[in-house]
Structure formats: structure tokens, C-alpha cells
Amino acid sequence: MRDQQPIAWRRTLASVLVAGLLVTNIGGTPAIAASMRRTPIVQAAEQARSSVVNIHGRKTVSSASEELAATDGARQVNGMGTGVIIDDRGYIVTNYHVVEGVSNIQVTTDKGKTVIARLISNDAVTDLAIIKIDVNEPMNAIRIGTSSDLMTGETVIAIGNAYGYEHTVTTGIISALHRPVQVNDEQKYSDLIQTDASINPGNSGGPLLNIDGEMVGLNVAVRVGAQGIGFAVPVDQVMEVAARLIDTEVQRTVSHGLTGKSVVKSDHTEFVVTSVSEGGAAASIGLEAGDVVVSVGSTQVRRTLDFERALLGRRPGEELELEVRRASDPLQMRLVLAPPRTDQPALTDRTWQLLGLKLAPISDKTFRRLTSQYRGGLRVLAVRPDSPAAFQGIRYGDILVGMHKWETISLDNVSYILDSDEFRQSQPIKFYILRGNETLYGHMQVSMQ
């Protein structure tokens, strides 16, 4: 029967046996023995190490928090966590709870250098934040995988600042997928990866890697009192939120006039344009919904984050070369970035102040591709933390299609609603949003003072 074994299998077995003899013999070759010890886990940890940073700072927590359940009043504590470099210019993604309330965010790199970071933006609903450190030379960004094809039982690796022990590496498997987890009264996650890789306080914001060394999740929580139960946010969700947090239009630095999303294929991920703003920079060069952006300048674009990274630091008036694929046809375009949109600033300020929303019109043509059930809606570009909209779970990319008994097809509709006496008398106000193919509703309590 042995002679019938596949040749490749027999060669692998022979290699293992020979290597075993070399390891056990005193006169064996150490280099060969060492090469057998450099497992995929060792290699994955080595590759990712320089892309992982440790985060320290002091924050105020109340006695209501789990950390201080036995104390009274508020108290200053040393906070710690982990971050992952997503851009070589020093942009780092982490959990918002790691940096929330920290006035002096200290970041330590794998080389032991400690610098002060600044908070760029955050999303309290998804508990994600972007911080940035100033760097003199390019940093190593993490290799990004996908969470769309994860398998229960596959090996994963967690790296983090566990209990302050920097760059701690632990291994385990994926125990389950799509777990809803209620951490406390304020924080709930709807779709987490469960793993038995040891995740401890300080691991929050660190990467969960697959066996190829690619980031497939962002470690976020541990089940207190349990062993071998930790959770991570799927990387596909992390990267989409991170892209929104550095979105140049949300940050109001330049305007490109398009929105898009990452689409995971069987062997790659691509960035697909979902809508183009009428009169915007993208519309002026003929970009259309359904186009795939392949590159922006020298940056290869595989997901939304790559597109937004390519626009960081750009100025209005700059011209960028775009490589686009429409169906199977390659197109070369030149996009001239426009100044930040300032249309109807008074309304923008009011919706931001009262509702916590930044809204943008959607063209009739684009909206008809999304649904035929409604006449129109307004796309959510940003949600202010701790706002009425944030408390109701409204997210970037949602489409507001109605409030109370009124449609919200245009910004003028929203202005009318905010000015109406019925709006003031109907608190909490009912709202309707379109998320994917689902219509969701809630009740938003809006203070008019």
C-alpha cells in the first residue's frame, strides 16, 4: 500500500523523517532543524509584528464600570490597548474604547519608540477609531485579508498588549462566526468572530490573523469570567468603517463626488462605485455607478480603504490619474479634486446639531438602481458620536427615506421637517432608513433647546 501513496505525500513524509534525524543527532545541521521550527504561525507573527503598536494613556472611569465595581466615584486609571497600522504614513485603527477620554495617547512601536498620537475620527456605534502618529519614514502597514471566507475551526493568531505585556502572541481557532454580543448597556456588537485564542485586557484593537499572516479581524472583547471565549470584529467591516473615518469628504478636505463599496470576489476584492453626485468631480469625467476603480495615481485600489488612502493629503485642484474598469473594458480617466462641498451650510449645521447627521442627495438614476419602493432619499455621510442618530444605530451609508409622516427626498424636505411645529410636538420622532434591501425604523428623541 505504501507504494501507492502519492509521490508528493511520500516526499513530504521523507522530508519530515530526515529532518527528525537531523534534529535528534548531535552532529545534525542546526539550520535545517531551525527551518522546521519556523512554522506558518511563527512566520505570520514575524510578518505582522512591525504593523502592531501598543497604546497607553490615562483615562477617567466611573464606579459603574466593571473595572472599578468595588470603588466609589470616578478615578484616573492607566488604560492600555493595541493598534494596527493601516497606512504607512502613520494611520492606525483601534477600538474607540481604547482611546476614548484619553487626552495624551501614547503609541509605542515594535522598535520601542514611544510617540504621541492624535485622534483623527471615531465611530462609537462600531467602537472603532483612527489615530495618527507623525513618522519620519514609512511604516509597515498590515496585510489585509478578508473575513468573508472564514471557517469555523481554522487556526487564528492574536497579537496585542495583553495586560501590558507588549506584542503578546496567542493562537487558537475560530470557535464561531456572526456572534451578537452585548458588552454592557451602551455597547452591543451584532456580528463578531468568536475565538479561543487568548484575548485579555490590552488586546483590544489588535489584529486577529489567519495562518497566512493576513488580518481577518480586530480583537475587541473578552467574556469576563470565561476561559477561551474572545471576540473580534470582522476585518471587512473594520476596513469599511476605517475608510469612512478617513473619508476626505467627511473630513471636508476635498470633494471627489462618488461613493463606493468593497466587493469580495472568490479570489480578490475590488472597489465598486455605487453612486456619483450630480455636478461633482466624478460625474464631470463620466464615472458611473458600477465602475470598478483599479488604481488612483500610484496606489492600487482593492477596497474602499485604498481609495480613501490615495486621497489623504490631497488638495483641491489636484489632478489624479484613475484606472477604471467598466464591464470588461479598461478606461483611463483624470479626476480633478474639487473643494469641499459647502452647499446649504445652514441646513448641514442644523442636521448635525439636532440629529447628528450629515446628509447628501442621491440622484434619481442612482436611487432607482437601489429600490423602486420609495421615491428618493438622502445618504448618510457621517454620524456624530453621542447624538440622537448614533443612539438609534444609524450608520454611514444608510439612506434616510422618511421622518414622521414626511418623505426625505431632498435637503429642503429635511429643512421643512425641522421647522415644523408637528416635529417639535411628535417627540420622539419616527424615522425610516434603507440599509441594503431592508427598511428599518426607530424613534429618535431630539432636543430642540
The predicted-structure confidence for 247-292, as pLDDT tens digits, reads as follows: 887 677 888 988 888 998 888 899 999 888 888 899 999 999 999 9
**CA–CA separation, 121 and 131 (whole Å):** 7
Mean pLDDT of the chain: 83
Active site residue 178: no
pLDDT at 424: 79
Q: What is the pLDDT of residue 372?
A: 64
Q: pLDDT digit string (tens) for 168-189?
A: 999 999 999 999 887 766 667 8
Q: One of 147, 175, 198, 204 is an active-site residue; which one?
A: 204
Q: Among residues of the chain, what percentage have pLDDT more than 90?
A: 44
Q: Is 97 a catalytic residue?
A: yes
Helices and strands (DSSP H and E) totals, the chain: 12, 24
Q: Active-site residue 185, yes or no? A: no
Selecting among 51, 87, 97, 291, the annotated active-site residue is 97
Query: Crossing angle, helix 304-311 and helix 235-245, to 10 degrees?
Result: 30
- What pLDDT does residue 291 have? 95
Judged against a pLDDT cut of 50, whether residue 236 lies above it is answered with yes
Check if CATH label 2.30.42.10 holds for domain 345-444: yes
Cis ω before 428 (30° cut-off from 0): yes
| Pairing between β-strand 155-162 and β-strand 357-361 as defined by DSSP bridges | unpaired
Query: Residues 391-442: pLDDT tens digits?
Result: 888 888 889 999 988 889 888 888 888 888 778 778 888 899 988 778 888 8
Residue 314 has pLDDT above 80, yes or no: yes
pLDDT given for residue 320 in this prediction: 94
pLDDT confidence of residue 226: 66
pLDDT band at 63 (very low <50, low <70, confident <90, very high): very low
Q: In whole angstroms, give the CA distance from residue 110 to residue 417.
A: 53
Residue 61 has a pLDDT of: 54
Q: Which CATH number fits domain 50-233: 3.40.50.300, 2.40.10.120, 3.10.20.30, 2.60.40.10?
A: 2.40.10.120
Q: Which residue among the candidates 127, 247, 291, 398 is catalytic per the annotation?
A: 127
DSSP string, 142-195: PPB--STT--TT-EEEEEEEETTEEEEEEEEEEEEEEEEEE-SSS-EEEEEEEE
Note whether 388 and 355 are within 8 A (CB).
yes
Same topology between domain 50-233 and domain 345-444: no
Structure confidence at residue 101 (pLDDT): 80
User: Residue 72: what pLDDT?
Assistant: 37
What cell numbers appear for 185 in the block?
448597556
pLDDT value of residue 112:
92
Least confident of 19-33, 131-145, 313-327, 358-372: 19-33
Let me know if domain 247-336 sits in CATH 2.30.42.10: yes
pLDDT at residue 369 above 80?
no
Does residue 20 carry a pLDDT above 70? no
Confidence (pLDDT) at 58: 80
* pLDDT grade for 91, boundaries at 50, 70 and 90: very high
The model carries a pTM of 0.71
Q: Are 340 and 249 in contact (CB under 8 A)?
A: yes
* Domain residue extents for the chain: 2-37, 50-233, 247-336, 345-444
